[in-house]
């Protein structure tokens, strides 16, 4: 058997079984086994001379090698990386992508006879076994590169700490197991394949697994560009990666220099380099260029979007049938995810929020943007910095809640959505044949004492509750679908919900993707239409996007394409379904467009056709605006992070501006306007399809609608805009009685 260069190909028969059949090698192995079997520790391990040959001739299969754990990389919609997470920082590369000098360096220091033996270095093993036996345990190396590969594979395969400890136990029995597996690997792979696997699995220190990650971490270069001093440095780090971790300071770096120089000397001795080359490399400084490889969403440029993707990978059965399988797949990594994130939209949302809400404020603003007709999430932003509070005042207060999303995707309990929910009653009424001008007279106050039945057929009336408009009940008025929506009249929508049925309204909302942020069932109570359910901005934005897509609801999606470790690309299709008729959606768009021209957002627009709805909750506990164009939908929420019920948005200073009362049109509305204006810059303006006037036009309202008093301007003083009503306490979930 003769070796040929780095490939390690053998003449005639390949591998250690062929080696065992070669008289010379078998003679040497036999001598080794006879000698070591006489040693006390070996005898205790059950390796007697008479069966020693059988132990190595009857080899086990090569150890199982699952894919190595690597990084998972997140790309934006244009293919630019913005986040990564990993259990091990590793990028697997082919041997051809590793500089030849690096291959020579690792072989010289770790196994100089690598190309001459069949997995068992007889001389080195005998020397180590004698020393270790005398010492009563493993004290000296002697493992071939193949044996070291086996050890790393067994550690990588370990699923428990006990298995990991057995794979690294300092005893002779473990060394014998390694020897047997090493012979099996030599039978299975060529020398080049073994070396490639070792370079990819080894730990080099500073959190870098594999030679590619190590080259980038230590020197900010790819493994293919390593110089002699750099290669010797990495080769020297493998033996004691924790003692020579250069990121830990000067003493560790000094030890790393010593190891580097030892490798250079060994390379000169083996002829891998000349003595002159080794001496010149010894005189060079370490020249580290430590490149941070931050992992996790806190280190991402867009942390809230990163959190959403991470939680989607853990919760969506598409990525594995069980949580354990999904966690295992995520830990293994090695995949590249092209996400739906649009950096332009993301930055537009962040800037619009930061212009009006400071990170230090206890009040928080959050926004989600989504593309109608596809469900692709374009932005998730919040006023708070993401991360754990570390006590450093310079970093400011942070949060680990994904404020723009639901609990399943890392969010909190959500905020009551307020009058944004009136759109579902509007849509349900239009589906039942109501016309734009159809309406009725409303009193100054209303008691939901009868006529409300939930979808389970239960009476859910509340005779103890009193509902008022924003004017405090000083007078009623007559309103149509259009004017009642534009002025966001509480009592009009309570009576409308009763007329068309609470359950049809709830079903409409569910069809548009509405679900509580905390994952519990929707509260089906009379004030459902006033938005008593706690929501997150993404869910609300997704529901409003359905109207922009002419009744086609698409589940929010953050991942557009997955590239696996083999380079195979798998597109992720949108999950969409038609939930309301296109003409009904056109009619909703027509009415909600009037919110900007005649309603609570008049005087604020984005310079193109848009539709939306304000929402201000009872006692000003939170405020919302949700709206859309044919190209993009977004929802903005504002509330106090300490608890919206205990800390209402009254008499507050946010972003340096004083608000006597925060309403949907006073803070969320302007954030929405600025963010949408910037996000859609350069996107051609499109109009909504005109409504079918033969179906929805006309209708009858008893008398001319009267705009209720008590609305608020942006500064919170009396004016025209969205505003809350009042109620008396009652046993139902906390009710939102706003306009």
CATH of the domain at 193: 1.10.3810.10
CB 195, CB 6: distance < 8 Å:
yes
Distance CA 241, CA 236 (A): 9
Q: Are 311 and 408 in contact (CB under 8 A)?
A: yes
Range of the domain at 48: 5-68+93-282
Whether residue 313 is contained in a domain is answered as no
Helix axes 490-500, 502-511, angle to 10 degrees: 100
At 96 the pLDDT is 97
Let me know: does 75 contact 82? Beta carbons within 8 Å: yes
149: CB partners within 8 A, 6+ apart: 182, 185, 194, 197, 198, 201
- What's the Cα-to-Cα distance from 353 to each of 249, 357, 668, rounded to whole Å? 40, 6, 9
Question: What CA–CA distance (Å, rounded) separates 455 from 478?
Answer: 29
Compute the distance between CA of residue 589 and CA of residue 584 in angstroms, rounded to an integer.
Answer: 9
Q: Residues 414, 516: contact at Cβ < 8 Å?
A: yes
Burial zone of 337 (CB within 10 Å; 0-12 exposed, 13-18 middle, 19+ buried): buried
Ramachandran region, residue 590 (left: φ > 0; alpha: ψ -120 to 50; beta: rest): alpha
- Token pair listed for 310: 């991470």
638: in domain: yes
Please return the burial class of 147, using the count of CB atoms within 10 Å of its CB with bins 0-12, 13-18 and 19+.
buried
d(CA 265, CA 23): 35
The CA R_g of the chain, rounded to the nearest whole Å, is 35
Partners of 637 in the β-ladder: 366, 624
- CA torsion sign for 102, 106, 112, 116 is negative
- CB burial string 72-92: b at 16+ within 10 A, e below: bbbbbbeeeebbbbbbbbbbb
Cα–Cα dist 95/196, whole Å:
5
Contact 688, 589 (CB under 8 A): yes
Contact present, 352 and 675 (Cβ < 8 Å): yes
What pLDDT sits at residue 493?
96
Helix 422-431 crosses helix 537-548 at what angle (to 10 degrees)? Answer: 30
Last residue of a domain, one of 282, 301, 326: 282
Angle between helices 122-135 and 172-188 (to 10 degrees): 170
Distance CA 167, CA 146 (A): 15
Residue 105 lies in a domain: yes
What's the pLDDT at 137? 46
3-state SS class at 560? strand
Tokens of 424: 């579902």
Q: What is the pLDDT of residue 135?
A: 52
Structure tokens at 429: 């009424």
User: What is the 8-class DSSP label of residue 95?
Assistant: G
Provide the domain count of the chain.
2
Give the residue among 636, 582, 640 at the shortest CA–CA distance from 614: 636
Spatial contact of 218 and 232, defined as CB atoms under 8 Å apart:
no
Last residue of a domain, one of 282, 297, 325: 282
Query: Could you tell me if 716 and 662 are in contact, meaning their C-beta atoms sit under 8 angstroms apart?
Result: yes
What was the pLDDT predicted at 711?
35
Q: How far is residue 427's CA from residue 416's CA, in Å, rounded to a whole number?
A: 20
- Torsions phi, psi of 446, nearest 5? -150, 140
Question: The whole model's pTM is what?
Answer: 0.82
- Report the candidate in 427, 382, 433, 374 with the shortest Cα–Cα distance to residue 403: 382
User: Could you tell me which residues are beta bridge partners of residue 661?
Assistant: 650
Same structural domain, 623 and 479: yes
- The reported pLDDT for the residue numbered 474 is 53
Q: What integer pLDDT is reported at residue 364 of this predicted model?
A: 95
Instruction: Provide the terminal-to-terminal Cα distance of the chain, rounded to the nearest Å.
Output: 88
Instruction: Examine residue 242 and state whether it is found in any structural domain, yes or no.
Output: yes
Residue in the block written with tokens 């083996």: 270
Q: Report the Cα 552 to chain-centroid distance in Å.
A: 26
Question: Which residue has tokens 């780090």?
Answer: 237
Query: Residue 73 domain-assigned?
Result: no
CB 672 within 8 Å of CB 367: yes
The verdict on residue 88 lying in a domain is no
Q: 234, 255, 282: which is the final residue of a domain?
A: 282
Distance separating alpha carbons of residues 722 and 720, to the nearest angstrom: 7
Residue 28 lies in a domain: yes
Integer Cα distance of 286 and 246 in angstroms: 10
- Per the document, the length of the chain is 739
Residue 266 maps to a domain: yes
Q: What is the CATH number of the domain that holds 633?
A: 3.40.710.10
Q: Which residues pair with 203 in a beta bridge?
A: 209
For the chain, residues with pLDDT lower than 50 are 1-28, 31, 34-50, 137-141, 705-721, 723-739
List, in sequence order, every residue forming a beta bridge with 377; answer none if it has no partner: 370
Q: Write out the DSSP string of 482-545.
A: HHHHHTT-HHHHHHHHHHH-HHHHHHHHHHTT---TTSSPP--SGGGGGT-SEE-HHHHHHHHH
Answer yes or no: are the C-beta atoms of 451 and 645 closer than 8 Å.
Answer: no
In this structure, the dihedral spanned by the alpha carbons of residues 232, 234, 235 and 239, taken in order and rounded to 10 degrees, is: 130
Q: What is the 3-state secondary structure (H, E, C) of 593-626?
A: HHHHHCCCCCCCCCCCCCEEEEEECHHHCEEEEE
């Amino acid at each position: 058997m003769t070796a040929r260069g780095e490939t390690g190909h053998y003449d005639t028969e390949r591998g250690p079984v062929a080696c065992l059949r070669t008289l010379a090698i078998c003679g040497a192995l036999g001598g080794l086994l006879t000698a070591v079997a006489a040693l006390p520790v070996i005898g205790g391990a059950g390796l007697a001379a008479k069966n020693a040959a059988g132990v190595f001739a009857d080899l086990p299969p090569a150890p199982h090698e699952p894919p190595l754990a690597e990084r998972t990389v997140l790309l934006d919609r244009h293919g630019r990386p913005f986040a990564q997470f990993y259990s091990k920082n590793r990028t697997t590369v082919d041997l051809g992508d590793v500089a030849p000098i690096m291959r020579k360096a690792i072989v010289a220091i770790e196994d100089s006879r690598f190309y001459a033996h069949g997995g068992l270095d007889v001389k080195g093993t005998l020397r180590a076994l004698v020393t270790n036996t005398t010492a009563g345990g493993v004290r000296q190396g002697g493992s071939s590169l193949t044996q070291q590969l086996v050890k790393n594979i067994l550690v990588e395969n370990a699923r428990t700490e006990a298995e990991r400890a057995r794979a690294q136990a300092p005893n002779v029995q473990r060394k014998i197991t390694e020897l047997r597996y090493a012979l099996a690997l030599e039978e299975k792979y060529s020398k080049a394949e073994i070396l490639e696997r070792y370079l990819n699995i080894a730990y080099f220190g500073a959190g870098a697994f594999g030679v590619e990650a190590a080259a980038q971490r230590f020197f900010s270069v790819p493994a293919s560009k390593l110089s002699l001093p750099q290669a010797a440095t990495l080769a020297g780090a493998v033996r004691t990666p924790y003692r020579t971790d250069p990121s830990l300071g000067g003493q560790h770096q000094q030890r790393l220099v010593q190891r580097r120089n030892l490798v250079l000397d060994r390379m000169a001795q083996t002829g891998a380099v000349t003595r002159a080359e080794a001496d010149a490399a010894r005189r060079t400084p370490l020249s580290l260029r430590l490149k941070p490889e931050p992992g996790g969403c806190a280190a991402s440029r867009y942390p809230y979007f990163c959190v959403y993707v991470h939680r989607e990978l853990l919760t969506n059965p598409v990525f594995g049938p069980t949580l354990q399988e999904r966690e295992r797949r995520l830990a293994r990594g090695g995949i590249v995810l092209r996400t739906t994130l649009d950096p332009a939209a993301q930055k537009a949302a962040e800037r619009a929020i930061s212009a009006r809400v400071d990170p230090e404020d206890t009040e928080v603003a959050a926004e989600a943007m989504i593309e109608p007709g596809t469900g692709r999430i374009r932005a998730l932003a919040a006023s708070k910095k993401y991360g754990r509070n570390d006590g450093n005042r310079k970093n400011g207060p942070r949060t680990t809640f994904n404020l723009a999303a639901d609990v399943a995707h890392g969010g909190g309990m959500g905020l009551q959505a307020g009058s944004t929910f009136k759109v579902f009653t509007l849509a349900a009424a239009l589906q039942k044949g109501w016309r734009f001008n159809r309406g009725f007279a409303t009193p100054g106050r209303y008691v939901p004492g009868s006529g409300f039945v939930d979808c389970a057929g239960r009476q859910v009336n509340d005779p103890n509750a009193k509902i008022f408009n924003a004017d405090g009940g000083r007078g009623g008025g007559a309103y149509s679908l259009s004017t009642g929506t534009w002025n966001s009249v509480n009592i009009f929508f309570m009576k409308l919900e009763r007329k068309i049925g609470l359950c049809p309204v709830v079903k409409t909302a569910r069809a548009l993707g509405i679900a509580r942020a905390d994952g519990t069932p929707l509260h089906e109570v009379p004030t459902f239409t006033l938005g008593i359910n706690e929501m997150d901005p993404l869910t609300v934005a997704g529901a409003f996007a359905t109207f922009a897509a002419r009744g086609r609801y698409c589940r929010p999606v953050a991942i557009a394409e997955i590239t696996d470790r083999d380079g195979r690309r798998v597109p992720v299709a949108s999950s969409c379904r038609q939930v309301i008729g296109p003409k009904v959606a056109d009619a909703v768009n027509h009415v909600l467009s009037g919110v900007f021209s005649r309603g609570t957002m008049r005087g604020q627009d984005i310079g193109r056709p848009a539709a939306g709805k304000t929402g201000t909750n009872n006692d000003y506990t939170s405020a919302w605006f949700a709206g859309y164009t044919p190209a993009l939908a977004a929802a903005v929420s504002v509330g106090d992070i300490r608890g919206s019920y205990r800390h209402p948005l009254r008499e507050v200073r946010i972003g340096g501006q004083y608000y006597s009362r925060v309403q949907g049109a006073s803070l969320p509305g302007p954030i929405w306007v600025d963010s949408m204006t910037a996000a859609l810059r350069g996107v051609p303006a499109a109009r909504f399809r005109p409504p079918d006037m033969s179906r929805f036009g006309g209708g009858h309202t008893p008398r001319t609608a009267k705009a209720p008093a008590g609305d608020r301007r942006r500064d919170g003083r009396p004016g025209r805009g969205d505003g809350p009503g009042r109620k008396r306490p009652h046993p139902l979930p906390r009710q939102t009685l706003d306009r």
